Amino acid sequence: SYGDSCQNEAGKVVDMRPLNRICAFNAETGVMEAEAGVLLPDIIAHAAPYGFFPAVVPGTQFVTLGGAIANDVHGKNHHRRGTFGCHVESFTLLRSDGRTYYCSATDNARLFAATIGGMGLTGLILSASIRLMRVPSLDIVETATPFRDLGEFFELAQAADQANEYVVAWIDQLAGGHGRGRGLLFTGNHAEHGSHVALRASGNLSVPFQPPFNVLNRPFLTAFNAAYRWKKGRSTAPRRVGYQGFFFPLDGVGNWNRLYGPNGLFQHQSVVPEDVARRAVPALLAAAKRARQGSFLTVLKRFGSIRSPALLSFPRPGFT
């Protein structure tokens, strides 16, 4: 988990998932009102037949509407759509005094800004109204472009952002020597013709138990990264892929985190200004290498300049 986002050590957590109704949906405007416990797959399934999709989705679909707002999540298209909070119309907030507040950019505006990205510190989101974006289909036309090093990535990144809805790079973090900083730049756009039917995660693959040691050790990760780079980068031709595999690759393996053993994992994310990124990103990778820390999912993407309404939102212009 992200190590700096847990603000409630030894405290109580309210599971909002039982409050999971979609209350209203306008098929003309794409505005949906739903209870805070509704999950992202349910939002997608309800809206997709009408040609709508969440404007921003994170790396997993197993998040609630309230959680997406409280964390002001971002996705692969920050350069075009900003954060999740940019698409929140309003919400109802339950405060610790027992009162409920209707919050929007014009009503209780300070609470509105503090709650988006506020990690639940302002109260409990009961329901929310969000604005979805119109898409031609759920399918994604994906292109993978190999790059030899980080310098080449930075040369490709800006043009990729201008031409594509979704952009993200995968870095072979364990590669050394002449391969240091190599990776794949993935771009994606919704296919003009394709499926409007949302599918549930198959769950065919699952880790049934937690091993007593870390299976994802350095030799395994080195081999995995090399195989992944070969498989994904052997063709630069556009290919049609399902939205789940493009947005939520880890959701296809249930309980994948168990592979890290009893110690679990620590996920780190930084954002650095664009003018220092060419120095800072290699320095971050070098620091991880010195600490002998490896990963099969080291990603790099560009944050745009779209401001979130949140006071505490993580993204800012630069690279992350």
Q: What are phi and psi of 88, to 5 degrees?
A: -90, 125
The verdict on residue 83 lying in a domain is yes
- Residue that finishes a domain, picked among 117, 135, 153: 135
Q: Are 116 and 224 in the same domain?
A: no
* Domain presence at residue 115: yes
Q: Where does a domain end: 135, 163, 195?
A: 135
- Whether residue 11 lies inside any domain: the answer is no
- Asked if residue 179 and residue 78 are part of one domain, the reply reads no
State mean pLDDT over 148-165.
95
Tell whether 14 is covered by a domain.
no
Question: Greater confidence, 23 or 260?
Answer: 23
Query: In the prediction, which pLDDT does 1 show?
Result: 47
Same domain, 184 and 116: no
Give the H or E element holding residue 166.
strand 166-171
In a domain, 15, yes or no: no
Instruction: Say whether pLDDT at 144 is over 50.
Output: yes
**Which of 7-16, 23-32, 241-250, 267-276 is predicted with the least confidence, judged by mean pLDDT?**
7-16
Q: What is the pLDDT of residue 56?
A: 99
* Domain CATH code at residue 114: 3.30.465.10
- Domain-embedded: residue 153: yes
pLDDT tens, residue by residue, 69-98: 999 999 999 999 999 999 999 999 999 999
Whether residue 29 is predicted with pLDDT greater than 90 in this model: the reply is yes
| 223 and 260 housed in the same domain | yes
Q: Is residue 2 part of a domain?
A: no
**Is 0.85 surpassed by the pTM of this model?**
yes
> How confident is the model over 112-136, as pLDDT tens digits?
999 999 999 999 999 999 999 999 9
Selection from 250, 229, 235 nearest residue 169 by Cα: 229
The mean pLDDT value for 1-26 works out to 82
Summarize the confidence of residues 266-288 as an average pLDDT.
Answer: 92
Question: What is the domain extent for residue 60?
Answer: 22-135
CA 49 to CA 27: how far, in whole Å? 9
Same domain, 144 and 236: yes
CA distance 224 to 217: 10
- Tell whether the model's pLDDT for residue 218 goes beyond 80: no
Q: What pLDDT score does 203 carry? A: 56
Give the Å distances, CA to CA, from 225 to 11, 183, 228. 39, 9, 5
Query: What does the pLDDT look like over 168-199, one tens digit per residue?
Result: 999 998 787 777 889 999 999 999 999 999 87
Which of 218 and 269 is assigned the larger pLDDT?
A: 269
Q: Last residue of some domain: 135, 157, 183?
A: 135
Q: Is the same domain home to 111 and 84?
A: yes
Q: Which pLDDT score is estimated for 2?
A: 58
pLDDT at 255: 82
165 compared with 230, residue with greater pLDDT: 165
Q: What is the DSSP letter of 143?
A: E
Max CA separation in the chain (angstroms):
61
Question: Could you tell me if residue 320 is inside a domain?
Answer: no
pLDDT (tens digit per residue) in 220-264: 778 888 888 888 888 889 999 999 999 998 888 788 788 888 888
With beta carbons less than 8 A apart as the criterion, state whether 160 and 261 touch. no
What total of structural domains would you count in the chain? 2
- How far apart are the C-alpha atoms of 74 and 247, rounded to whole Å? 12
Residues 155 and 229: their CA atoms lie apart, in Å, by 20
For residue 113, the SS3 value is helix
Contact 89, 131 (CB under 8 A): yes
Q: CB-based contacts of 298: which residues, under 8 Å, 6+ apart?
A: 170, 171, 172, 173, 285
